[in-house]
Every structure is written in C-alpha cells, then in structure tokens.
Amino acid sequence: MKDLRITQRHVAKLCAGTKSTPANPIRSGVRRHRDQKGKDMIRTFLTSAALVALIGGPALAETFEVQMLNKGSDGERMVFEPAFVQAAPGDTIRFVAADKGHNAEVNKDMLPEGAEPFAGRINEEIEVTLDVEGVYGVICKPHYAMGMVMTIAVGDVDAPADFLEGRVPGKAKERFEAQLGNL
C-alpha cells in the first residue's frame, strides 16, 4: 500500500506545474496518441480528395481523333472523318494528317464568341482543347472549295442562324448543312 501512495504523490508532483492534473497519466498519453492518429487520418483523406479532384477533372475529358483524308470510308473525296463531333467543354480534338496536303483550322466566321481561333500547319497533327460552348466550323484551307469541312458542337447547342452566312463555297456549304443536321 505504501508504494501506491508514493506513486500517487510522485504523479501529483509531476503534474503540479501543469494547468490540469490528469486522472490517469498513462491513459491520457494513449488519448493524445489516438487524437494525433485521427488528425493524421483526416489530413491524409483530405489530401487524397484534393488530388483526385485536381487530377481526376481533366481525366474525365474526352479526346476525339479526326482523320484528314484524301478519300473517306464512304468514297467521298477530301474529308475529315468523322465530319461531325459532339463534344463537351474541356474535350480535346486531335486532327491527324493521315494523308498529305491537309491542315485543320477554324473558319473565323464560324467560331463561338469568346473562343480562341486555331490553325494547324499542312501535314501536321494539331490538338485543340475546346472550352467555349458553341458550334465550330473547321476547314482544310487548301481543299475548302472542294468541301473539306467539319463541324464540332461543344455542349448542348443549336446551330447559330448566321453560321452559313458569308462566302462559303458550294460543296463546303452542302457538307456543312448535312453536318448541322446532327444537332
């Protein structure tokens, strides 16, 4: 019994300088360890959630590949395949020069307000990420008069009334009209 009193006095002396005296100093140490472990788990969870949000967002975006061809699978000459793409904001379009002599560029008269124009070089691949909703008219500059055009609709949109206004070659206009039928 005497040893027990000495231990209690010893504990009382050790805790005399603190604001509160723990009922059981051994168990309070365990509680402190558990509290720190819980904080570490919460910190790890929040960090993981933030990383998933940052990395996972762009991972949800889709990439569409468009071939620039001399002859399409349907036998048509000078085509983008596919000729129409329905995309979501943040999606990427990759234009691949499968045949030589082609480029992909947006017709500046067929560009949503606030969207950045783009133009690829002949025989080169170009990737474009589209963030602004609207309808984009894409042409192959050397073959525009031959009707080498495509339409990209970003978001849930309708064709603007003035989309085909201005100077549009006959074959290109015909193909644009057919593509706009997909909206």
Domain definitions of the chain by residue range: 2-59, 61-180
Q: What is the pLDDT of residues 86-121, one digit of tens each?
A: 999 999 999 999 999 999 999 999 999 999 999 999
Half-sphere exposure of 81 (CA within 13 A, CB side): 16
Mean pLDDT value across residues 19-45: 61
Burial 1-16 (b: 16+ CB within 10 A, else e): eeeeeeeeeeeeeeee
The pLDDT > 70 percentage for the chain reads 70
For 61-180, CATH number out of 3.30.200.20, 2.60.40.10, 3.40.47.10, 2.60.40.420 equals: 2.60.40.420
156 vs 177: CA distance, rounded Å: 18
| Cβ atoms of 150 and 85 closer than 8 Å | yes
Smallest CA-to-CA distance from 134 within 153, 161, 162 is with 153
Q: What is the pLDDT of residues 111-148, one digit of tens each?
A: 999 999 999 999 999 999 999 999 999 999 999 999 99
**What pLDDT is attached to residue 42?**
72
